[in-house]
Structure 1
Amino acid sequence: MAHIAFLAVLGSFLVSASPTQDPFSLNSNKKFYDVQAHRGGRGNTVESTLPSFAWGLIDGSTTLELDNGITLDGEVIVWHDVGIMTEKCRDTNPVVPNDPMFPYVGKLVANLTLAQIQTLDCGSQRQANYPQQLLYPGARIPTLKEVFEFVSCADPSHRILWNIESKIDARFPNRTAGVQQFVQKQHSIFRDSPYYRSITYQSFDWRTLVAMKELDPKITTSALIDEDTLFAPEWLAGLQVDSFRGPSLGEQMAQAAHAIKADILSPTATVLIPSPEDPSEILKFTTQSLIDEAHRLGMRVKPWTVNRLDIADELLLWGADGIITDYPNVVRRWAKQQGLSVAPKYPKQRVFSCLEKHMQKV
């Protein structure tokens, strides 16, 4: 009986495709519960590489989540960090003999050209926190265009959804490209892609969300927020979260995101923070009141990065509209068990055939 009652609570979240609907048609994934593959699914495969997005497709993700950086020569690449980290990438050879920037590992993305960055081997090192990662020795950092081209090969009906972040540092403007450069360059690639209608644009730097909405009001935007940016106006387009009426901190966050016309609020799901009223009281960052207020204001809520199913259970019960996870295969299986409609998986043979072809290009 308890199981039946729980499913009844979940009834408002169930989404079913029409029997006559082509499950692989454009935007059909919007009919499925949003299981997002964080960096392609970094729990399973070396992150932010073509193989990681290949496995995100095979594992039946609704959405591929990724980050963008901009190189010295203005190319938009798919990479999470503002620099090249030693634990993720290895140097191979310099682009030219006696290149003064070599070795490239340890340098900022903004200070390296695309040619320099694509000499790096970012597929040979398994991350300590992700012991199940599949390695793909020799895997390179791709451009956003290259990721779109590879996925279009594996996804000819263009049904996959995207959640694409600008990796900008609001505190240190000299470490990354600026707001307008990110927005203009990313939007140009979005607009020319067959996935234009399927892209959510997200950022911790809310200035970029405001700029993107001004450039193209049709683009869906997602406001990222965590304990580091919560009370930092430089991240939140000058807003002070505690200036909103509340009454709870979660409701204030939702109201702040609504003030910049965000379509989605994407808070961290696993962090505990002190209560502003009573520091001895510990609060969850993502709460029922945050989700309720966001929904009241017409926004969806998609927390990150959820790798525990007990947390996923709680978020779903509260009404979260999606889950961003390092393990999309596990979360998809969980979502299916809850009675939620899940996206179809992609055929391995086609995905791997496209992967082999496109790995040779990057």
Structure 2
Amino acid sequence: MRLSARSARPALVISLLVAGLTAPIATAAAGEKGDSGQPDVIAHRGSSGVAPENTLAAITTARAQGADSVEVDVQRTADGELVLLHDCTLERTTDVEEVFPDRESYALSDFTADELTRLDAGSWLSPEFEGEPIPTLREGIRALGPRTDLLLEVKVCEGEEGLGQAVADGLREIPGYLRRAVATDSLVVQSFDHDETREFHTELPRVPVGLLFSARPTDAELAEAATWAQQANPRYTLTDQALVDQVHALGLEINVWTVNAESDMRAAVELGVDGVITDYPQVLREILRTS
């Protein structure tokens, strides 16, 4: 991730013509990778190809496999605890239907943090991970250790409001974390919900933010993103050399997701992206080691 290292040149001011209006955009230089010149290896939901996603096991496995950064999803429980889970409901990755058979809703937001501690979030993948819990955000950050970066996705489900603010507050409550993360450029917060991303950015403007795109971003969307965000992160199937060059010209970084086939990993590296988000960080690490 290491945004400051990649933004060592003086800031540029880029003026773009969008919808007939010239908009000045202050940017930092992007497309400058670390000393190796290689993209970051970003473990998607941890090393989720071999360990249950968004769990401490997935995070620690990604660390052991040499991931530069771990991407995890953060949501909020009924009583306000921030926890790591991708789906808006609990059925796919936990035994919630067995533990709470009479509940009318299995939305995570309808469960308290204490109730979540009763769930098994590992057995769905393999008996090896039986009893793996849903971690809190604080536990996930602790599992990262001091050398692995965090790409934190704010997962906004239907009816959820104020999650950007809540995540900012939650990060503030972890003793010493924000100061260290800002100093070492080891935290980026991203979301498909750009309004919540902006809300987070308003609260913690020193923390870099990324905007996720499930459709190819338009020229106008990228120009607007460059006025306040640091990353534009599209699906890899939407990404070509023209898009990578355009994002870099705007002073933004670009991480592509979710890249699991070796041929697609090699293609993304050739495009010069800043990070590759994958379920198999160990495979990407080996590709980069031997390239």
TM-score of the two chains, using structure 1 as the length reference: 0.65
Structure 1 residues 267-316: Cα deviation after superposition (integer angstroms, max 9, x where no partner):
0113xxxxxxxxxxxxxx11222111111110010000000222222222
**Alpha-carbon shift at residue 150 of structure 1 (Å):** 3.0
**Alpha-carbon shift at residue 119 of structure 1 (Å):** 0.6
| 2:196 pairs with one of 193, 208, 212 | 208
Structure with greater strand share of residues: 2
**Alpha-carbon shift at residue 36 of structure 1 (Å):** 0.4
For the residue of structure 2 that corresponds to 1:313, the secondary structure is helix
Is 1:84 the equivalent of 2:112? no
**Alpha-carbon shift at residue 262 of structure 1 (Å):** 1.2
The answer to whether the 8 A contact 1:163-1:202 is kept is yes
CA distance in structure 1 between the partners assigned to 2:249 and 2:33 by the alignment? 19
Is 1:305 the equivalent of 2:272? no
Match of 1:264 in 2: 231
Residues 103/327 of structure 1: CA separation in 2 closer, same or farther (3 Å cut): farther
The answer to whether the 8 A contact 1:223-1:262 is kept is yes
| 1:61 pairs with one of 64, 67, 71 | 67
Match of 2:276 in 1: 323
Match of 2:181 in 1: 196
CA distance in structure 1 between the partners assigned to 2:132 and 2:189 by the alignment? 26
For the residue of structure 2 that corresponds to 1:138, the secondary structure is coil
**Alpha-carbon shift at residue 337 of structure 1 (Å):** 1.7
For the residue of structure 1 that corresponds to 2:286, the secondary structure is helix
Match of 1:41 in 2: 47
For the residue of structure 1 that corresponds to 2:95, the secondary structure is coil
Residues 102/185 of structure 1: CA separation in 2 closer, same or farther (3 Å cut): farther
Match of 2:242 in 1: 289
Match of 2:35 in 1: 16
Match of 2:57 in 1: 51
The answer to whether the 8 A contact 2:39-2:269 is kept is no
Residues 177/107 of structure 1: CA separation in 2 closer, same or farther (3 Å cut): farther
The answer to whether the 8 A contact 2:222-2:232 is kept is yes
CA distance in structure 1 between the partners assigned to 2:139 and 2:120 by the alignment? 17
Match of 1:109 in 2: 108
CA distance in structure 2 between the partners assigned to 1:15 and 1:164 by the alignment? 21
Residues 294/186 of structure 1: CA separation in 2 closer, same or farther (3 Å cut): farther
Match of 1:182 in 2: 166
The answer to whether the 8 A contact 2:165-2:199 is kept is no
CA distance in structure 1 between the partners assigned to 2:202 and 2:174 by the alignment? 15
Q: Percent identity?
A: 26
**Alpha-carbon shift at residue 186 of structure 1 (Å):** 3.6
Q: CA RMSD in A?
A: 2.6
Is 1:140 the equivalent of 2:140? no
For the residue of structure 2 that corresponds to 1:164, the secondary structure is strand
For the residue of structure 1 that corresponds to 2:83, the secondary structure is strand
Letter matched to residue 254 of structure 2 = V
For the residue of structure 2 that corresponds to 1:298, the secondary structure is coil
Q: Structure 1: any 5+ residue segments left out of the alignment?
A: 1-11, 18-30, 95-100, 127-132, 231-240, 242-248, 271-284, 339-362
**Alpha-carbon shift at residue 253 of structure 1 (Å):** 4.3
Residues 196/103 of structure 1: CA separation in 2 closer, same or farther (3 Å cut): farther
Larger radius of gyration: 1
Q: Structure 2: any 5+ residue segments left out of the alignment?
A: 1-30
**Alpha-carbon shift at residue 190 of structure 1 (Å):** 6.0
The number of residue pairs the alignment matches comes to 257
**Alpha-carbon shift at residue 72 of structure 1 (Å):** 0.6
The answer to whether the 8 A contact 2:154-2:164 is kept is no
Residues 160/201 of structure 1: CA separation in 2 closer, same or farther (3 Å cut): same
**Alpha-carbon shift at residue 318 of structure 1 (Å):** 1.9
